Amino acid sequence: MNYAQRIQRIRDSLAGHQIDAILVSYLKNIFYLSGFSGSTAEIIISEEDALFLTDSRYYERFKEEVHEGYKLVPFYQESLGRKLKELAGRHGIGRLGIEADHLSLTQVEELKENSGVDIVPLSGVVEKLRIVKDDEEIAALERAIRLKEEVFTELVGLIRGDVTEADLAAEFEYRLRKKGAQVASFAPIVAFGKNSSKPHATFTSQTLVPTMPLTFDLGVELDGYCSDMTRTVFYGGVAQGWREIYTLVREAKEAAAAAARAGVRCADVDRVARDIICQGGYDSYKADGEERKYFGHGLGHGVGVEVHEAPRLNNQSEEILEVGNIVTIEPGIYLPDQGGIRIEDMYVVRGDGLVNLNALPTDILVVE
């Protein structure tokens, strides 16, 4: 990864924020800027310096992982504010930007009280750089997708009458580690029957429900980059009405993908899928005296070093798709207490459209 270029882009942003340096505390952003995969670090980037603060547990990892542009600064169980005061005087820092989205009020107050510098709260400085992926990042994401698809294919082969949601969730996490992934990029969603009506269901000990939706929303983190895919399959046939719902969801997904390209508003892409689902008879329903949507969540989201990041594809988003964005498209229809259908793939945004990074088909799959 071109960490030197990323550091320089941060330096290029300092003058615009009227700061001498930025303190990066969020571990995902630290990884993006340095390659560090440990759990304790802070980095400070100024026009002249790139300082990496961590403790002796990670000195060897620093040498192995961190871009050579950083200087190691030992830091362990100290006041960060007082450490900054020491470094500020040595490195000419008078105004320091901080990641306000990732620090608690207590942490910010400690910095203000002890650092001796002007603290400038900033939002999304590193995240804005992460939105557009370069070729190396796209290749890393594709490797995470391929591994996840391989494990999912193996899970399908384990589907039988007595298998439980928990069984398959455990198999997924075991197998991804055996194949080289560090962790799942989120807790696996394995939802059978009426449990699949919950978009973010948690797995349980229930066994398969024949002919009803079986939803798998899975992702892995491989070499720091994430994947995310949803497939809804059936076991022993398809109950009445669900094939039609599946077809409608797939149509909405494909239409949204066809409408998306660089320069298009994320909200407009969301609207394409939402209109198809609503016109297909699944707009809203009444429950507990309220109107609720059969498709109540956003259409998709960015994926990178985090499984959910910008841009967001929903009906409130003001973001515009750019070349190099990686996004999911994942419409769904959820019938309360019955079941739900969701289909999700990851795409890279190009000037003339989207390119699907997934290899597995989205045709309805019935396991006999």
Per-residue model confidence as pLDDT tens for the chain (368 residues): 999 999 999 999 999 999 999 999 999 999 999 999 999 999 999 999 999 999 999 999 999 999 889 999 999 888 999 999 999 989 999 999 999 999 999 999 999 999 999 999 999 999 999 999 999 999 999 999 999 999 999 999 999 999 999 999 999 999 999 999 989 999 999 999 999 999 999 999 999 999 999 999 999 999 999 999 999 999 999 999 999 999 999 999 999 999 999 999 999 999 999 999 999 999 999 888 899 999 999 999 999 999 999 999 999 999 999 999 999 999 999 999 999 999 999 999 999 999 999 999 999 999 98
What is the pLDDT at residue 252?
98
Q: Which ranges in the chain are annotated with CATH 3.90.230.10?
A: 135-367
Residue with tokens 């006999």: 368
Residue with tokens 């990323």: 6
pTM score of the predicted model: 0.93
Q: Which ranges in the chain are annotated with CATH 3.40.350.10?
A: 3-130
What is the pLDDT at residue 12?
95
Helix or strand run (H / E) with residue 96: strand 95-99
What is the pLDDT at residue 289?
85
Structure tokens at 331: 């419409």
Q: Tell me the pairing of strands 71-74 and 50-54.
A: parallel
Structure tokens at 183: 């962790």
What is the pLDDT at residue 211?
97
What is the pLDDT at residue 287?
83
What superfamily does domain 135-367 belong to in CATH? Creatinase/methionine aminopeptidase superfamily (3.90.230.10)
What's the rounded Cα separation, in Å, for the pair 312 and 318? 9
Q: What is the DSSP string of 117-152?
A: SEEEEE-SHHHHHHTS--HHHHHHHHHHHHHHHHHH
In sequence order, the 6+-apart residues with CB closer than 8 A to the CB of 87 are 44, 51, 73, 93
Q: What is the DSSP string of 277-310?
A: HHHTT-SEEEETTEEEESS-S-SEEE-SSSSSEE
Comparing CA positions, the residue from 178, 184, 127, 140 lying closest to residue 1 is 140
Structure tokens at 94: 């008078």
Are the beta carbons of 196 and 242 closer than 8 angstroms?
Answer: no
Instruction: Output the CA torsion 199→202→203→207 (10° steps).
Output: -60
- 3-state class of 62 per DSSP? helix
Fold of the CATH domain 3-130 = Creatine Amidinohydrolase; Chain A, domain 1 (3.40.350)
Neighbours of 208 (CB within 10 A): 22
The tens digit of pLDDT for each residue in 197-244 reads 999 999 999 999 999 999 999 999 999 999 999 999 999 999 999 999
